Amino acid sequence: MSALSEIERTESVPTRLGRLHVRRFGPDDGRPTVLWSSMFVDGHTWDSSLPLLRSAEPGRTFLVVDPPGLGLSEPLRRRTSIVEAADAAVDLLEQVQASGAVDWVGNAFGGHVGFELAARPGLLRSLVAVSAPPEPIPASLRHQIQLLKPLLRLAGPVGPVRNAVVRAMLTDASAADRDIRSVVVESLRRPGRASMALALRSFILDRVDVTRTLASIGVPSLFVASDDRGDWAPADAERAARLTPGARAVTVTGARTLVPLEQPEALVGHLVAFWRSAG
């Protein structure tokens, strides 16, 4: 995608969960803004949004992160947690010498990490959580994942696993778009199956309810729901925003989980408006 030609630096940053693959866009002294992707995929899910973000916000430095154990980041070697992923994010920010607090934009898994960071004073300037329900996964989805987990561990993201991930991540219309679907499928191929299985266990199945944490968030926050994700519908995002000081919620239509990939123009419009209102 066009954003790839604008990479200024690619870094492999040491953290307590291994080296994280980071792509840096924009001026070195720009306002640091972290884009952290969803589970199963990697930073390339932001590639459609990046040119729009850079055009609208040329003074920002965007740090696009492949989460622990995913994409081109170092494989996970052990079971971990979202809290430790947030600790690894702190390691990353220290290593890339982000000056002061950062603006955090997290999609799904990235939003869960953002909730944890935003409750820790001084780390974030603002939080955007996209398609990131603070509750644990529903029992029905947990059952489906438990059935697929042995196949993922033994054979990797083959047919049934790949199809289940695509259904969870994309609307039917997006899944029928060759370019959009290929971003998801190619992301699934990058990590090893053992690392993917550990990430699945650590960041999805072990995810805990952090609803009570929302009241501790002390930075301006935007919760972005989609119109086609059943476990974080617009009403759910509105309810989470009411529990979070200084938060508001918006809805992007025509998307499921990967809003930055499915509806980049709409998402970027909400991001820019939020940042400018937050100051």
Q: Are 49 and 264 in contact (CB under 8 A)?
A: yes
Task: Reply yes or no on whether the pLDDT at 4 is more than 60.
Answer: no
* pLDDT for the residue 1: 42
In degrees rounded to 5, what are phi and psi of residue 266?
A: -65, -45
Instruction: Give pLDDT, residue 6.
Output: 54
SS3 190: coil
CA distance 40 to 100: 30
d(CA 69, CA 176) in angstroms, rounded, equals 28
Written as one string, the DSSP assignment of 242-268 is HTSTTEEEEEESS-SS-HHHH-HHHHH
Provide the number of structural domains found in the chain. 1
The pTM for the full model equals 0.93
C-alpha–C-alpha distance, residues 131 and 106, integer Å: 9
**Could you tell me if 231 and 137 are in contact, meaning their C-beta atoms sit under 8 angstroms apart?**
yes
Residues 6 or more apart whose CB falls under 8 angstroms from that of 118 comprise: 104, 124, 127, 217, 218, 219, 221
Q: Which domain holds residue 83?
A: 2-278
In 3D space, the residue among 199, 212, 211, 217 whose CA is nearest the CA of residue 81 turns out to be: 199
Distance CA 69, CA 188 (A): 11
Residue pLDDT, tens place only, 167-202: 889 999 999 999 999 999 999 999 998 998 899 999
Percent of the chain with pLDDT over 70: 94
The pLDDT, as a whole number, for residue 155 is 62
Tell me the CATH number at 21.
Answer: 3.40.50.1820
131 and 228 Cβ atoms separated by less than 8 Å: no
In this predicted model, what pLDDT tens digit does every residue of 98-134 receive, in sequence order? 667 999 999 999 999 999 999 999 999 999 999 999 9
Distances in whole angstroms, Cα of residue 131 to Cα of each of 55, 93, 223, 225: 24, 23, 8, 5
Averaged pLDDT for residues 53-72: 96
- Which structure tokens are listed for 153? 């561990």
End-to-end Cα distance, the chain: 30
* pLDDT on residue 7: 64
Strand boundaries in the chain, DSSP class E: 9-13, 20-25, 31-36, 60-65, 102-107, 124-130, 221-226, 247-252
Model confidence at 154, in pLDDT bands (50, 70, 90)?
A: low
CB 34 within 8 A of CB 105: yes
In this predicted model, what pLDDT tens digit does every residue of 20-40 receive, in sequence order? 999 999 988 899 999 999 999
